[in-house]
Amino acid sequence: MNYELKIAWLYPDLMSTYGDRGNVIILQKRCQFRGIEVNIENITLETPLSKLKSCSLVFMGGAQDRQQKIVSLDFLKKKSYAVSEMINIGIPALFVCAAYQFAGHYYRPYQGDDIPGAGIFDLITEHQGNQAKRLTGNVAAELVNPSGLNGKTIVGFENHGGRTKLGAKTKPLAKVLKGYGNNGSDGYEGAVYKNAIGSYFHGPILPKNPHLADWLIAKALEVKYKEKAYLKPLDDALENQAHNFMLKKLVHRSVWGIDRKSMLG
Catalytically annotated residues? 97, 202
Q: Give the span between the Cα atoms of 115 and 123, in whole angstroms.
A: 13
Nearer to ligand GLN, 30 or 202 (CB): 202
Nearest residue to 151 via CA among 240, 211, 217: 211
Nearest residue to 69 via CA among 103, 128, 111, 105: 111
Distances 157 to 135, 137, 140, 179, 208 between C-alpha atoms, Å: 10, 6, 8, 9, 11
Q: Which of 7, 11, 12, 18 contacts ligand GLN by CB under 6 A?
A: 18
Nearer to ligand GLN, 70 or 223 (CB): 70
Nearer to ligand GLN, 115 or 221 (CB): 115
DSSP 236: -
Among 154-162, 174-182, 204-212, 234-242, the segment contacting ligand GLN (CB under 6 A): 154-162
Among 45-53, 58-66, 144-152, 220-228, the segment contacting ligand GLN (CB under 6 A): 58-66
Nearest residue to 98 via CA among 29, 17, 22, 34: 17
Distances 131 to 69, 181, 221 between C-alpha atoms, Å: 21, 19, 45
- Show binding-site residues for substrate: 134
Q: Which of 30, 160, 219, 243 contacts ligand GLN by CB under 6 A?
A: 160
H or E stretch including 230? none
Among 22-30, 143-151, 153-161, 167-175, the segment contacting ligand GLN (CB under 6 A): 153-161
Ranges within 74-103 binding ligand GLN (CB under 6 A):
97-98
H or E stretch including 43? strand 37-43
H or E stretch including 246? helix 237-251
Ranges within 105-134 binding ligand GLN (CB under 6 A):
127
Nearer to ligand GLN, 162 or 203 (CB): 162
- Show binding-site residues: 134
If one counts every other C-beta atom within 10 angstroms of the C-beta of residue 29, the result is 15
Q: Which of 8, 12, 62, 251 contacts ligand GLN by CB under 6 A?
A: 62
Assess 52 for contact with ligand GLN (CB under 6 A). Answer: no
Instruction: List residues near ligand GLN by CB under 6 A.
Output: 18, 62-65, 68, 97-98, 127, 159-162
